Structure 1
Amino acid sequence: MKQTLFIIFIGLTSFVHAQSIDIGDIKINGIIGYSLTLDKLRSSNLEIDSIKPIPELMDMSMADSLVYIGRTYFEYFANSNKCILSVIQFDCKISEVRIGSLTLSNLTTIESIQDNFPEDCQSTSSIEIYQDPKTYRTCGVPISANGQLTDSRLLFFFLEGKLTRIDIWEPS
C-alpha cells in the first residue's frame, strides 16, 4: 500500500511540475536571462534604448525605472542594481526566446504553444492591453523558481495566430 501511495505521489508531483516553466530557463536571444545586473545588461550584445521612470500607470511596482531594449523591458531596482525581465515583445532587437530546449519567436503559432503546454494553453482567452487597439488571444503557464512552483505565470499573447508578446505576470 505504501509503495502504491508513493508511486501515485511521485506521479502527481511530476504532473504538477511538468506544466511549469522554470524562470531560470528563459533566455532572450539565447543569452539574456530573467535577472541580471544593469552592468551585465549594458555589456550584453543588445543595446539599451532607454531607461525611463516608472509610469504612473505602474505605480504599484517597487522598481525605480524601466530599461528598454526595443519594446522589451526590464524593471530596474537601484538598491540591488538588478534588472528583472517583465515584458518581451518580438521586434528587430528581440528575435527569439529560449525556454530550455524550446525556441519561441514571432513565427510561433498558438498550436505550437498548445502542443508544448497542453494543460494550460489548450484554450485561450481574448484580452485587450491598455492603450493598444488590438485584441489578443492569451494563455498562461505557471512559473517555477529553483524547482518550486510560484504564484506567477508566463503569459503568451497571440495576434493573428502568431506569438507577439510574452509577459511575466506576478500577483500584486
Structure 2
Amino acid sequence: MNLNDIKAQLPDYAKDLRLNLDSVLSESGAPGLNPKQVAIIAIASAIASRHAPLTTAVRSHFDGQLSDAELNAARAAAAIMGMNNIYYRFVHLVGDDEYAKLRAGLRMNVMANPGCEKVDFELASLAVSAIKGCGMCLESHEKTLRKHDVAPVAIQSAARIAAVIHAVAVASEQAQAAA
C-alpha cells in the first residue's frame, strides 16, 4: 500500500486530509525544513500514530532518501518519546512538584547519538510529542530547537506534519473499520 492508496481510502469527509498530506510532505508545504527532515519527521509521526499501513506507505514514499541510520533515528524518536511522553506527562499532570525533583531513572542514551543530525532528531521528537500530547516534552524540544537557531516556521512545519499524519491514521482506521 502506498500513500495514493491510503488517500484513496479516505472518506469524502476527510478530503482535506488528502490535500494536506500532499502539502506537508513536500518541501514547499513544510517551510523551513529540508527533504531529509520532512522524511524523518513523517516516518516518526507515522510510527507514533500506530497505523501500520500508513507507516509502511510513508516509509515507502521516502524510500532511498534516508540512510539506514537516519531511518533508525526516526524509529528511535518514536520509541524513546513513546516512553518519555508517558513518563513526563505523568510528572506534569500529577501536579506534585516532588516528582519533578526525582531522577527519572530511564535510559535515554539514543538522544545523545541518534544516528542523524541532532536537530533532525529533535524535530522528530517534537512531532511525536505533539501526537502523544506531552506538554513538558513539547516545551523542552521546542526550547532546544530554538537554542539551535531553528526558525519557528520550521518547528511549526514539524507540528503540522505530525497533525496531518495522525489525522490520516485516524481517518484511515475509521474507513477500514467501516468497510
How does the TM-score come out when normalised to structure 1?
0.24
How does the TM-score come out when normalised to structure 2?
0.23
Structure with bigger helix share is 2
Query: Quick check: which has more Rg, 1 or 2?
Result: 1
Higher RCO (CA 8 Å, separation ≥ 6 residues): 2
